[in-house]
Every structure is written in C-alpha cells, then in structure tokens.
Amino acid sequence: MTEETETQSAPPTRRVSSTVAMNRFIWGMLKPFLLVVGGAVLLLFLLRQAGV
C-alpha cells in the first residue's frame, strides 16, 4: 500500500521538478545563444553604421 501511495503522490512532484529542470536547462542553453546572437546583431549594426 505504501508503494502504491508513493507512486500515486510522486508523479505531480516529479512533473514539477522535471519542468523546473527543463526550464533551467533550456534557459542555460538559450542564455549563451541569445548572448551570441545579440553580440552578432550589435556587431552588424555597428558595422552598418560605420559603413554608412
């Protein structure tokens, strides 16, 4: 009975923890990507302004 109750009460907490972990993982992966993209856009913008 204890195992059944544990498995029944586990899914929601696991889902929350997994979603939080996924959000952290996605944010950790996106942060450097966004920084690189932002830097590239800034460089292109500055180069265009300097060229013009």
Q: How far apart are CA 4 and CA 9, in angstroms?
A: 9
Tell me how far apart the alpha carbons of residues 7 and 12 are, in angstroms, rounded to a whole number. 10
Low-confidence ranges of the chain (pLDDT < 50): 5-6
Angle at 40 between CA 50 and CA 49, to 5 degrees: 15
Alpha carbon of 12 to those of 8, 19, 37, 45: distances in Å?
A: 9, 10, 36, 47
pLDDT at 14 (0 to 100): 63
Q: Which helix (H) or strand (E) holds 33?
A: helix 2-51
